[in-house]
Amino acid sequence: MESNDFQNYFYFLVAALVLVVGIALFLGYKLFKSLKRKEAIESQFQQLEDKVSNLQLETLEAKLNPHLFKNILNSIQSHAYQTYFALDKLANVLDYILYESRKKFVTPKDEIEFACNLIEINKIKVSPLFELKVKMKVKEEELLYNQKLIAPMISIDLIENAFKHADLQSADAFISIVFEFKESVFSLTVSNKISRKSKLEKEKGGFGTQTLEQRLKIIYKDHFKLDRFVEKDVYIAHLKINLLEHKAEMLAARR
């Protein structure tokens, strides 16, 4: 009798164990399918988000190029006697717009060279007495300086805005442009004495300001800082992009 009780108890334990294992396998399978479904949904969401971001950038860039080109032509037209020099610089700018701007990223070196050509074109609008300072604080030996991590034409708005709102014919006016690249951080600081005529009235409705903000947020997310402020009669804009953090996020997203 005791033997039968032991057998029954053994069979009960085996049945209970099989039941527990079966339930565990079933729950594990359900959890696995749930995680797979979650991964699929997240993947689809990420793809959709990427498409929206790309569409936004394409829309912004489509508006940006004609806007820049119009400003450049106005500069050249207003000072025909310097047309030959300006057209030489314009050729470089157009090459950059036509070929480099189609790329998602360019090197900091390429972007700075493009910005310098743009400055040379704008210089024909200023008085001989006007103070225009361009400084380079660049460590070219840094690895990321020649890597494609900068969105093309990201420097346009700050430079164009300075020339737009400075009194270019006033002897006491000035524009200061400083490029920096050190410790994998790209920085651009532009300051100008505000013209008494404009007082930045046009800026409220300016396309460039909104475009730059949107592009930076879409591309660099939390890895940039853009400050704009006025000190007395000087307008200052400072852009800082941490390319090392941006690159690390890009590499992590590919895994």
Which backbone phi and psi does 126 adopt, to 5 degrees? -95, 155
In a domain, 65, yes or no: yes
Domain carrying residue 225: 59-254
- What integer pLDDT is reported at residue 200 of this predicted model? 46
- What integer pLDDT is reported at residue 3 of this predicted model? 54
In a domain, 54, yes or no: no
- What integer pLDDT is reported at residue 65 of this predicted model? 58
In a domain, 192, yes or no: yes
Q: Which two tokens stand for residue 229?
A: 């402020």
The CA distance from 179 to 20, in Å, is 67
- What integer pLDDT is reported at residue 37 of this predicted model? 63
- What integer pLDDT is reported at residue 73 of this predicted model? 62
- Split into its structural domains, the chain has a count of 1
- What integer pLDDT is reported at residue 204 of this predicted model? 43
In a domain, 226, yes or no: yes
- What integer pLDDT is reported at residue 173 of this predicted model? 84
Return left, alpha or beta for 152; rule: phi > 0 is left, psi -120 to 50 is alpha, else beta: beta
How many Cβ atoms from other residues are within 10 Å of residue 121's Cβ? Answer: 23
- What integer pLDDT is reported at residue 95 of this predicted model? 79
22 Cα distance to chain centroid: 53
- What integer pLDDT is reported at residue 242 of this predicted model? 97
The CATH number covering residue 173 comes to 3.30.565.10
Our CA angle for 65, 51, 108, nearest 5°, is 50
In terms of Cα–Cα distance, which of 98, 173, 174, 108 is closest to 138?
108
- The 10 Å CB-count burial string (b at 16+, else e) for 169-205 is ebeebbbbbebbbeebbbbbbbbbbbbeeeeeeeeee
The CA distance from 92 to 94, in Å, is 5
- What integer pLDDT is reported at residue 189 of this predicted model? 97
In a domain, 164, yes or no: yes
In a domain, 12, yes or no: no
Cut 0.75: pTM above it: no
In a domain, 100, yes or no: yes
Walk across the sheet containing 174-182 and list its strands.
131-138, 174-182, 185-193, 234-242, 224-231
DSSP code at position 106: B
pLDDT in tens, the chain (255 residues): 455 554 555 555 556 666 666 676 666 666 666 666 656 655 654 565 565 456 455 555 555 555 666 666 666 555 555 666 666 777 787 778 777 777 889 999 999 999 998 898 888 777 777 888 999 999 999 999 999 999 998 998 899 888 888 877 777 789 999 999 999 999 999 999 887 765 544 444 444 567 788 889 989 999 999 999 998 889 999 999 999 999 998 888 876
In a domain, 97, yes or no: yes
